[in-house]
Amino acid sequence: MRRQTVLIALESATFELVKKLMDAGKLPNIAKLAREGMCEKALGVLPSHPPTGYATIATGAYPGTHGITCTMVHNPGEPMFEFHHGNFTDSVLAETLWEAADKAGQRTVVLNYHTGTWPPKNARNGVAVQPITLAKTPTYQTEPPNLEDTPLKNLAAITQIELQPAQAWVNIERCGSDPLEMSQPILLEAESGEHADVLCQGLFGNVRPLKNKWKATVTYHVLITKSGGEGYDRVLICRAKDGSSAICTLEPGKWGPWVTTEFNTGKGMAEGMNRYKVLTLTRDGRAFRIIGSGITQTSPGGWSYPESIGTELVKEIGPPPSEIRCMTRTDFNPRTLYTLQPWLPLETYVEDFTVQCQWLKNAALHLLKTAQPDLLALAYRPTDMVEHIAWPFIDPGCPGYNSEEAVIWWGILERLYQQVDDLVGSLRAAVGKDGIVALASTHGKTSPPLMQRVYVQNILARAGLLSFSVNPRTNGVEIDWSKTKAVQARSIHIYVNLKGRDPDGIVAPGEEYESVRDQIINAFHAVRDPKTGKCPFTLALRKEDAAILGLHGDRVGDVVFALADGYHPVTHPVMGEGGGPTPDLQVTSYLCKSGIHGWQLPTTSYGIGSMGCLLVMAGGGIKEGARCKPPVHLVDLAPTLAHAAGLPCPAQAEGRVLQEIVE
């Protein structure tokens, strides 16, 4: 019998958080799904990063098999610090649920699923939608940016401006009195409109697209006026210094309408849409702050298959919203791991993740009706970001915890998961009693109270395996490959600088290679936390041995390691005063400001969370109130879902069908 199946992948939705909200009665639809089917904490994969989890959910295979062995993929023979993004179809080596279904002549919809989706492979009967952000919008404000906690200043994207009397404007008589203008225009820089393989270069990953590269800029002039002559209360974004060229008029505190921006790509026009919000405008016109959402492409090409589907979605349900990235990852400043943009009010952040979830829901409902798929798969990402930010405030073991902050952040998490709950409820209703809905998270999260940092590269340097220095001109760390035998690259992977494989290889294959691997493993095992005497590494394995963790094949480092609970790595070599290396620095304490994941075993539990994945599934073909025989693995989802739904199992799936829950 034909039944519609919906797979919802959540980025790092921690089992314990969702369970707590569910038990408190806050998530009625997810609770109902769990009651009427199964709900388990599943063991995920190592490393626990979103792309590894997305690929595992989609293929039922382990990272060694599907090839997404980290956020980035490294191909042997390429320079050690060149990585390809794991998000693209060609990076995934194993068949996905939707590819298997498509091959069998079934209809599929893949919506905003972040791994193995674009360009769609073998999509004969399928629809794929993968929205593109053409340009990010900087924040403009009169206050000087407070970057104390923002170590990656180049990512901060705040521009300080002044408001000054409007000069050389025309047609502004009707716009209000005493016009002011932003001292510089809004500058939008758009890049490369198509999803394509990208290359990350260097220790800190400068990303460049490998094809379809184009750049285009658009500027908008901003006029601020008094609409009633009393105080400043109106903001116009204009194509030129011409009041009649306004693309929108904004009131402080409210999102403006969706507006269209056109970029000249050199080969034609790319069109995108976004919204702006004035966060601050004082009546006297002294303090001002404006933000915009990212501009997502709305013109056809490169983001939907068939192309007409994208146009149809924009027309029927509106443009796909682009998320406001609220955090920047840092490896530069050992004191800070993640940081919330201090200029973004929480309520605006809630609006942002709400609008994203609602668009996904509306797009999924529209496509379930119009495309009539046998399988619809979608991914929702803000769960990871919000949990990262919220964690230090909600885990009573963290120094930042206080009960008042905890109430606020539990409230934010509640609103976040209520969006997901609404998505689950709406899609369940749409597929009916016999349809199947499955909800799975890519991994979980934990946060130790006072985290210990492990300087992985310094440990290698101290063992005489890695040589680095600071370039006085650029102030960047440079590796001396002629003296380097091993280096950490891509989270849990350590690469030997191997002759004949790596461009600057110096270690001979055979005896020397084995000896270097022994030295790495011995060096890791010898490290002790000065506070506790404990070894911060749970394991350090030769790649052949890492096959027991599903890490095999040529996208795995020569040595693979995992960190113990409560430890997080520093992956850049750390220099001492005056630029000299300080390999002695191996483990230090710092105040953790974020939930973490990625480097610990999937079995890790710490504080109020764990790395375990949420797995909830119910519908036709699945027993009511089913109980699984533990352990349940994330790789079991695809085979079980395929079995229950009557879909073909992905060809390389390694998980088992959870026989005890299927009919």
Residues that bind Zn ion (CB under 5 A): 384
Question: Minimum CB separation from Zn ion for residue 388, in Å?
Answer: 5
Would you say 99 or 384 has its CB closer to Zn ion? 384
Neighbours of 376 (CB within 10 A): 29
CA atoms of 56 and 551, how far apart (whole Å): 12
List, as one string, the DSSP characters of 494-548: EEE-BTTTSTT--BPTTHHHHHHHHHHHHHHHH---TTT---SEEEEEEHHHHGG
Question: Minimum CB separation from Zn ion for residue 504, in Å?
Answer: 32
Would you say 63 or 272 has its CB closer to Zn ion? 63
DSSP 600: B
Neighbours of 553 (CB within 10 A): 15
Question: Minimum CB separation from Zn ion for residue 12, in Å?
Answer: 5
Q: 68-101: string of b/e by CB count within 10 Å (b at 16+)?
A: bbbbbbbeeeeebbbbbbbbbbebbbbbbbbbbb
- Which residue's structure tokens are 């990303």? 207
Would you say 53 or 639 has its CB closer to Zn ion? 53
Residue 171, Cβ density class (10 Å: 0-12 exposed, 13-18 middle, ≥19 buried): middle
Long-range contacts of 79-82 (CB under 8 A, 24+ apart): 79/201, 79/502, 79/503, 79/504, 80/481, 80/487, 80/489, 80/495, 80/497, 80/502, 80/503, 80/504, 81/200, 81/201, 81/202, 81/203, 81/205, 81/489, 82/199, 82/200, 82/201
Would you say 66 or 388 has its CB closer to Zn ion? 388
> Which neighbouring-strand residues pair with 555?
none
Question: Minimum CB separation from Zn ion for residue 614, in Å?
Answer: 15
Which of 165, 38, 50 shows the shortest CA–CA distance to 112? 50
Would you say 169 or 567 has its CB closer to Zn ion? 567
Question: Minimum CB separation from Zn ion for residue 597, in Å?
Answer: 6
Would you say 36 or 384 has its CB closer to Zn ion? 384
Would you say 374 or 384 has its CB closer to Zn ion? 384
CA-derived radius of gyration, the chain: 26
Q: How far apart are the first and last CA of the chain?
A: 13
Would you say 86 or 583 has its CB closer to Zn ion? 86
Cβ–Cβ under 8 Å, residues 259 and 137: no
For the record, the structure tokens of 161 come out as 């401006």
Cβ–Cβ under 8 Å, residues 436 and 620: yes
Question: Minimum CB separation from Zn ion for residue 446, in Å?
Answer: 12
Would you say 326 or 642 has its CB closer to Zn ion? 326
Cα dist from 179 to 182, 206, 229, whole Å: 10, 41, 10
Would you say 524 or 599 has its CB closer to Zn ion? 599
Would you say 384 or 502 has its CB closer to Zn ion? 384
Question: Minimum CB separation from Zn ion for residue 129, in Å?
Answer: 23
Residue nearest to Zn ion (CB): 384
Would you say 50 or 583 has its CB closer to Zn ion? 50
Question: Minimum CB separation from Zn ion for residue 602, in Å?
Answer: 15
DSSP 662: B
Question: Minimum CB separation from Zn ion for residue 601, in Å?
Answer: 17
Question: Minimum CB separation from Zn ion for residue 134, in Å?
Answer: 24
- Omega cis (within 30) before 320: no
Question: Minimum CB separation from Zn ion for residue 286, in Å?
Answer: 38
Helix (H, G, I), strand (E, B) or coil at 181: strand
Which of 496, 491, 494 shows the shortest CA–CA distance to 481? 496
Question: Minimum CB separation from Zn ion for residue 451, in Å?
Answer: 15
